[in-house]
Amino acid sequence: MNVLKITTTPIKLSMTSQRARLESRIPDPEVGIIQNPGKLNMKSENIKVDIDTSRSRDSMGFRTARGIMRDGAQAGIKAASDATAQYSRIGNQMMQIQDGVTVADIMKNQMMAQTNITTGIAFIPSVGPDISWQPPDLSIDYTPAQVEFRPQVQEPPATYVPGELRVDVEQYPKVDIEYMGEPMYVPPSANPAHEAAAE
């Protein structure tokens, strides 16, 4: 006769699985448009006329300070040369005084030689002005209008969701042992139903 009752409860598991997946979203396309307007640049230069009247003024006696100094230097050199020649001639004539020439005659001849009367007709200014000119200039620079398209290329974002396996324990295993017999007393005299043996 079995006095032990053994009851076992098995484990109960539940499994939930989810497959791996790749999630992505396609963004809306974007295009940037840049418009550059046309440009027209015009540059004009008027005619340039240069008139130099310095030579004309010199011919009329209206000289610059530089011209006056130049003419004064040339006149001084000429006057020094003329005076040297004149003194040489006077000296030569005085050396011939023994021929009956007096000093008064020599001075008279020198004064007569220096008296020069010059007449004539001249047009003033005798030199015309110097005229130079540069023709007018017109430059045109045209840049046509431009339209530029710039597409915004965006990579679609992707998210990887890994797979998942979930195991839940709904019931844990267990073993129940139940004693079906009567209790055992140690010492046997502890049993209330024990009867003492007759001596």
> What Å distances lie between residue 107 and 100, 101, 117, 128, CA to CA?
14, 11, 19, 44
Residues 143 and 41: their CA atoms lie apart, in Å, by 9
Give me the residue spans of the domains in the chain.
Answer: 1-27+154-199
Taking alpha carbons only, the member of 85, 82, 103 closest to residue 94 is 103
Give me the chain's average pLDDT, please. Answer: 80
Residue 32: pLDDT above 70?
A: yes
Q: How is residue 109 written in tokens?
A: 């001849």
Angle between helices 65-94 and 103-114 (to 10 degrees): 150
Task: Read off the pLDDT of residues 167-177 as tens digits, 9 standing for 90 and up.
Answer: 999 989 999 88
Task: Read off the pLDDT of residues 96-119 as tens digits, 9 standing for 90 and up.
Answer: 666 666 767 767 777 776 666 666
178 and 4 Cβ atoms separated by less than 8 Å: yes
* Amino acid 160: pLDDT: 87
Q: How confident is the model at residue 199 (pLDDT cuts 50, 70, 90)?
A: very low
Residue with tokens 């969701």: 161
pTM of the model: 0.30
Q: What is the mean pLDDT of residues 190-195?
A: 75
Residue with tokens 């398209």: 149
Residue with tokens 């001084």: 76
